[in-house]
């Protein structure tokens, strides 16, 4: 397994729209393993392939405290959603920034698993928010895109300053 490099806002590649995967091949499974390892190492609870500059519709998530319940979603789709919720969200591509975003409270998700089989399930609470956040990444959308332009500009300046300091 290998650690992948996580892109940071305002990297323009975070705006790429990812393409569906034709088949869950050995190569895709290896990619999912590398993404999971990268996410645990960061550490984070979700990672979309877009964030590691791979324009494919792949997501890994683990919201368990023990970090032993990975969820692999290939070509995920939200087929039904209801209710409203919000929670303070963060993102490995926007380090140190937290903000609340309006999300659906409950979603029904259809995706391929790591075994290539179709899975359909209902998610709510933190898991539902996390899946919506990660699917947004596959569509080139960041959680800070829901904030006001003024606030986003402020975040951009802050992160650019941090990046200069760490070089
Ligand atoms: Zn994110």
Between CA 81 and CA 135 the distance in angstroms is 14
Residue 6 included in any domain: no
pLDDT at 1 over 80: no
Query: CATH no. for residue 76?
Result: 3.90.45.10
Q: What is the Å distance from ligand 1's center to 162 Cα?
A: 18
- Choosing from 65, 117, 120, 134, the catalytic residue is 134
State pLDDT tens for residues 142-167. Answer: 999 999 999 999 999 999 998 888 76
pLDDT of 163 = 84
Residue 3 included in any domain: no
Q: What is the Å distance from ligand 1's center to 114 Cα?
A: 21
Q: In terms of residue numbers, what domain contains 49?
A: 12-165
State pLDDT tens for residues 108-149. Answer: 999 999 999 999 999 999 999 999 999 999 999 999 999 999
Q: What is the Å distance from ligand 1's center to 136 Cα?
A: 8
Residue 1 included in any domain: no
Residue 93 included in any domain: yes
> Does the annotation mark 89 as catalytic?
no
pLDDT of 165 = 82
Ion ligand 1: residues, Cβ under 5 Å:
91
Structure token pair of residue 36: 């999971």
Q: What is the Å distance from ligand 1's center to 95 Cα?
A: 9
Residue 71 included in any domain: yes
Q: What is the Å distance from ligand 1's center to 26 Cα?
A: 26
Residue 4 included in any domain: no
Q: How many domains does the chain have?
A: 1
């Amino acid at each position: 397994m290998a650690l992948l490099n996580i892109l940071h806002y305002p990297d323009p590649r975070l705006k790429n729209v990812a393409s569906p995967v034709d088949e869950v091949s050995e190569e895709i499974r290896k990619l999912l393993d590398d993404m999971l390892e990268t996410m645990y190492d960061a550490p984070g609870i979700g990672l979309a392939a877009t964030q590691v500059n791979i324009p494919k519709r792949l997501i890994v998530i683990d919201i368990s405290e023990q970090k032993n319940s990975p969820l692999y979603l290939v070509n995920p789709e939200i087929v039904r959603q209801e209710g409203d919720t919000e929670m303070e969200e963060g993102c490995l591509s926007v380090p140190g920034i937290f903000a609340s975003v309006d999300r659906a409270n409950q979603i029904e998700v259809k995706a391929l698993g790591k075994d290539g089989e179709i899975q359909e399930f209902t998610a709510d609470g933190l898991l539902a928010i996390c899946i919506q956040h990660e699917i947004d990444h596959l569509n080139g959308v960041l959680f800070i895109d829901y904030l006001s332009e003024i606030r986003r500009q402020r975040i951009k300046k802050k992160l650019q300053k941090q990046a200069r300091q760490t070089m």
